[in-house]
Amino acid sequence: MFESNLTADPSNRKTSRRAFLLSAATVGGGLYLWHMSLFSKKTETAEASVENKANQTPQEVTIVEFTDSGERKDTVHVPKIVKSDAEWQRELPPNAFNITRHDDTEMAFTGQYWNNHDSGLYRCICCGTALFSSDTKFESGTGWPSFYQPIAEENVESINDNTFGMRRTAVACTRCDAHLGHVFSDGPKPTGQRYCMNSASLKFVKKA
């Protein structure tokens, strides 16, 4: 009955179609506004979380200090460095920001230090904490600077990383939580470890 009436009167068919399109547009617009509202709330929540974290009393961490020549100094308790994304973005090159603050990875054989053979110290690009010595650097063939151990266990943290469906161990700077790279159990003696780092996370200080 409904179908025959539409056929018989074209104006009814046009009116029905117009009403349908208007209804669909209204629903679609409502869904879009709802989605944008949720997105806005999530963004505000994330920003507020970072701001609240930055305003809290900094957690203290233990690190070992080193001179630029690699001489071990004191073990100290220092406040963890916490900054907002906006602050880090102002201080770091884009590549370093994406890698250290958002766990990105540079392409193999493109980093500044993968083929560096000079003697010296590798510090965190974000906070300057000593991380690795050239004495423990080795040729891994991976295209990333690789070390068989950190300069001090206190200066780096190991974090479980299950992204991309893989079980890996990420490595971060103890002082500022900068993402450095990953550690694998296929390195040389004496540790058998391969700390596979991003050049963009490091700042090399050449030994005088």
CA distances from 134 to 13, 88, 96 (A): 79, 27, 21
Q: Read off the pLDDT of each residue in 143-168 and give the average, rounded to a whole number.
A: 94
pLDDT of residue 31: 43
Does the annotation mark 176 as catalytic? no
Q: What is the pLDDT of residue 38?
A: 42
Contact 193, 149 (CB under 8 A): yes
Asked if the model's pLDDT at residue 49 lies above 70, the reply is no
What is the reported pLDDT for 113? 98
Residue 83: pLDDT over 90: yes
Q: pTM for this structure?
A: 0.74
Dihedral sign of CA atoms 80, 83, 87, 89 in order: positive
Residue with tokens 């050239």: 134
Contact 163, 50 (CB under 8 A): no
Are β-strands 179-184 and 168-173 bridged in parallel, bridged antiparallel, or unpaired? antiparallel
Mean pLDDT of all residues in 12-41:
46
Q: Say how far apart CA 19 and CA 25 lie, in whole Å.
A: 10
